[in-house]
Amino acid sequence: MHEQSETLWRNESIKKEFKDIVYDFDCLPLGILLREEEDFGIKELEPLLNLCDGLIFQGGMITRDNEIELCKYAIEKDIPLIGICAGFNVLLQAVDGEIVDVSELGLDKSLHNVYDAAYRHEISLVNDLKEWFGSDKIAVNSFHNRFMIKENEKVIAQAFAYNGAIQSIEAFKLKDKKFAYGIKWHPEIMEKEHLIKCFKPFFKVL
């Protein structure tokens, strides 16, 4: 569990933990592995997307423009989706939400972007996530230094972290969609029970 973040997701593949959870719910994982230098548009990807009952944006070191376009397509078609960490950013940017860098906020940097898979900080859960976990507080990891601070008219906050005087949003959902959630932490490198609680609602709508 003390794997360093530099090796946690620096790859161009489906992470094993995501493949396993897909199989656990009797589904078949299909990878759409985009690179910025590849000019794939929705037209080229649509035959592949038509095979998908849902989409997991698994996150990574960066957010790519073609991922945002793919996410916009999924939102328009109301394909169930969940975005993890950078996937949270993809989903938020697809609906014109604002992502703010830690350097712009003056936050306590010791609470976030901690390169240790065993690290935990407390967040508060509301709405659907409170129901998913059966609690209003849980402890999660943090491998990010970009934050969502405020909702817009398309999103509803689902979890918060308290960073001194500033409250950041750790999870959100899109309004009026079958299933579209952003999760800022990495549940796939936490305990299996936690991962199941995060993903069971997703697979229930497929």
- Residue 1 pLDDT grade (very low, low, confident, very high; cuts 50, 70, 90): very low
The CATH number for 9's domain is 3.40.50.880
Q: Which residue has the higher pLDDT, 204 or 5?
A: 204
Question: Domain range holding 112?
Answer: 5-204
Mean pLDDT of the chain: 87
Whole-model pTM: value is: 0.91
The secondary structure of the chain as a DSSP string is ----GGGTS-SSS--HHHHHHHHHTT---------TTS---HHHHHHHHTT-S-EEE---S---HHHHHHHHHHHHTT--EEEETHHHHHHHHHTT---EEGGGTT--GGGSS-S-TT--EEEEE-HHHHHHHTSSEEEE-----EEB-S--TTEEEEEEEEETTEEEEEEEEETTSSSEEEE-S-GGGS-HHHHHHHHHHHHHT-
The number of folded domains in the chain is 1
Q: What pLDDT shows up at residue 61?
A: 77
- Residue 101 pLDDT grade (very low, low, confident, very high; cuts 50, 70, 90): confident
Q: What is the pLDDT of residues 32-63, one digit of tens each?
A: 877 665 667 788 889 999 999 999 999 877 77
CA 36 to chain CA mean position, Å: 19
pLDDT of 114 strictly over 90: no
Mean pLDDT computed over 142-147: 84
